[in-house]
Structure 1
Amino acid sequence: MELRHLEYFVAVAEERHFTRAAERMRVAQSGLSAAIRSLERDLDAELFVRSTRRVELTDAGRALLAEAHRTLASATAARNAVAAVRGLLRGSLTVGSEQCLGVIDLPPVLASFRRAHPGVEIRLRYAGSGQVTEQVRLGRLNVGFVALPGPPPDGVRLLPLATEQMVLLCHPAHPLAERDTVDVAALVDEDFVDFSTDWGARRVNDQTFARADAERRISVEVNDVHTLLDFVHQGLGVALVPAPVTRKPHAKGLHVAALAAQDGPTWQVSVAVSASAPPGPATTELLRMALPEGRLAGRSDESAGAHRSTYRLRQPTHRE
């Protein structure tokens, strides 16, 4: 089994088409097809169900895909490690993040990284925390900035960055705007504007109402913060959001209320990395630039308050 064959297999699996996969890998289709047949002979299994229009993975192909991603990621990490010994930082770095996490401003962090290490190609993808974490687990992302409640999924390690409160946002004319504190019981008859189920804040909200054995009505489901704020401004629903959202200029004019202490959920922002493979040199360097000194081990800060940020990302300077 050759790494090149695994690269071709991944391309076909993702493109679902031999011609497009060959174009992506810049090889002749006949050579790519021969490599896939060789891989199938090595594994004694068919990896694709072929048709004239597209191809689909077999059960064996689906089982191989996750391992192929991990194997290729490990091979890349090995090459980069050797380059690092020679004093070079090169290769590629794929980063995922949920939007508007509030405790990190990725553009200046990545810009500083690129200035310091121009030989590393950086790719950034925004998605919900659930998807970002899954891509880290599969080896398709080197690192992810996520907000996930509860323990990490299998195969993923979470390095805590910050803990923030969830608060209520509503239109100033809404009856709840007369309160500085609300409890979950007061929200069961409200229309909600919330994020899609893959976002970290949505998962926190769902768990909060589940613990209270209460139902809620989600009237509007969105995939970005500014659209959520627009709908709340129009009085089409209330929203439970992480505290950093309330500091956005677009949130100006909306009423903010805390949740009662017994109901108060927290929003945990973390860095997601693979638990099955050590981070490569480029990933390690990004974490060094993003995390305060000593935080790579993910130690908790016992002196921080329950609702204060316990991990703060250091903003890089232009000298770095």
Structure 2
Amino acid sequence: MLRQLRVLALLATSMLVACASVDAEDIQEFGAATTAVADAARNTGAMRSAIGQRLAVEQQALLFALGDTSSAYPPPKAKPSPVDAEWSHRIAFAQALSEYGAALAKAAAGVAGDDLGNALGNLQKAVGDAIPGTAKTKNFQPVADTTVLVARKVITELQYRRIQLVIEKAHPSIVKGRALLAADFALMADNIDAKYSTWERQQAAVLKQIRGAPDANSPADVGVRYRSYRDFLKERQEMEAAFAPFLNIPGERPRYEVLLDRFVAAHKELAENKPNPLTLERFIEAVKELQAAVKPFLPAKG
């Protein structure tokens, strides 16, 4: 009888542990930030297109400044490049990663469903294939706010362990997928950096043309040159700030590389069930910087 009571007591204790509530806010935040990284990777295509259009305008401005009759007004739209056409297929891993981040955030909020298991499978498939266009091409919606996550702020210990186990299983794919994301970001960074450099040279050529005007010493021309120079500096600073995560700075690692390293580090700690608030905070800070860079170039929502 005593032994039976001990067994019952052990079972009761086990059930209480399984039903205990835990705060999974760190997983929620990580999931939302992960989705943001994936969405930013996809949206860098819009950045490349936007700077391409700016370059086209600058080319027409230079022709006009030189008195070339081939300059057109309004300037023609920049032609789409092969990179634009293939971008949605190339970043298959980013699409799977977006689903994984959204599913993590929902599961950590206690939202029931099989999304997390399916997302893990898609993530592993995207890394396993490692070929553009072979993973699911569904346009996953980002977790941009917490409206679907407010149902519960705590989950049971059993649910937490299930989520943590999925994260653990996903980590090898995250590590391998980092290389895929880095290659995607690098491709877009090379495009952006090349166009930015060309844009900068053409701006300088326009300034040189203004500086060499016939009436260079007249007060009116001095004012024109002064305003042109100030406007050029202001626009250059704005462009540098916008493209900072993608421009090549001698002696520094690209900021998108730093972001991906922080992403893997934060995921590793969650996989080992050793979340560090500082690591997560640094990852989220890097994500916000990337989001801020991409946002101005996205099409306006009607």
TM-score (norm 1): 0.19
Q: Greater strand percent: which structure? A: 1
Q: Greater helix percent: which structure? A: 2
From the CA coordinates, give the structure whose radius of gyration is larger: 2
TM-score (norm 2): 0.20
